[in-house]
Structure 1
Amino acid sequence: MTTIVITGKQPGKTDVTISSTVNPAIKTVVPVTVLSRNLLSYGPASGNGLTATVNSDGSLHITGTATGQWRGVSWTFPCPVQGTVNLSGTGAAGLSFNVKCLDAKGQQLGASMNLGNRVVEIPAGTVSLYLNVISNESTPTLKESDIRIQLESGDTAHDWMRPDNTSLRGGGQ
């Protein structure tokens, strides 16, 4: 069996036409949906003094002053892949982000993914991912920042891409 891999440059819907090389009159059109390489899901959230909104480009806008160190906003969503993943992103001074793998009972599996250990293997039994954006300051200060976080399959970080789901409601962590 032959494998066909189609990589799109932008998320969205398109068609692929497959034609016979023997008889070009024989062809079929296959609808294709190109998904973002960014596997994260997030959206508006508020809690622990921080508020997250989604900018028009899909990045997160974080405002407010966290109620304490390691406090912030979070989102939980189904794990879309297994295997090796890479976490990358740009943030703001005083803010950190990480992703945790959770089992069916909501218990953490393996280590948190952060920029210090950004290439990891999704542990067996992972059913959901937990993304959080938190203050890393011992005395949190006012934030007004845009951040771009990306989780993608493989061990190579690519340019940031808007996630497919930017309407997932989050809350405080």
Structure 2
Amino acid sequence: MNEDGSLHLAGDAPTANKGLRWRWECPDTAKGQTVIYSAAQFPAGTYSYLQARGTNLNLLATLETGKPSVIPEDTVTLELHIAASTTNPIDGDLRAQLELGATATDWTRPDNTGLGGGELT
């Protein structure tokens, strides 16, 4: 984690389409609401997406980067995925955010910059 709150990604990916994920409880205030997941900056050779999951982690929706989406009412968990699209070396910063509404705003430092809860996928 960089001081500005962006996530630094670096290294050699052994396999394409593998990476990290974080899960957190979906706030009740976000359920049924229009949101936008955006990334102001991606390192070359990476991609990211957000998923809404229900009971037993069943997939309810995949939120595409830069497109407004509605979080389903029965969402229990949100899951952020960051993966390599190549086996070439990766080195750069990721600046992503999830916001209420249909319009992405300029990236701002997140309130929580802890990396706890991440796991390999």
TM-score by length of 1: 0.63
Q: Deviations over 1:106-136 (max 9, x none)?
A: 11102x2222x62100012101111011012
Tell me what 1:142 maps to. 89
How many residues get paired? 116
Shift in Å at residue 104 of structure 1?
2.4
Misfit runs of 4+, over 4 Å: none
Give 1:120's aligned residue.
69
Distance 1:136 1:113 in 2: 18
Residue type at the aligned position of 1:149: A
Alignment partners' CA distance in 2, 1:66 and 1:78: 29
Give 2:113's match in structure 1, choosing from 155, 159, 166.
166
In the alignment, structure 1 residue 65 sits paired with structure 2 residue 12: yes
- Name the CA distance, whole Å, in 2 between partners of 1:109 and 1:168: 25
Q: Percent identity?
A: 35
Structure 2: runs of 5+ lacking an equivalent: none
CA RMSD of aligned residues (A): 1.3
Tell me which amino acid in the other structure corresponds to 1:142: P
Q: Deviations over 1:41-76 (max 9, x none)?
A: xxxxxxxxxxxxx11111000111222121011111
The answer for the alignment partner of 1:131 in structure 2 is 80
Of structures 1 and 2, the one with the larger relative CO (CA 8 A, separation 6+) is 2
**Corresponding position of 2:57:** 106
- Give the conservation status (yes or no) of the 8 Å contact 2:44–2:91: no
Corresponding position of 2:21: 74
What is the TM-score normalised by the length of structure 2? 0.89
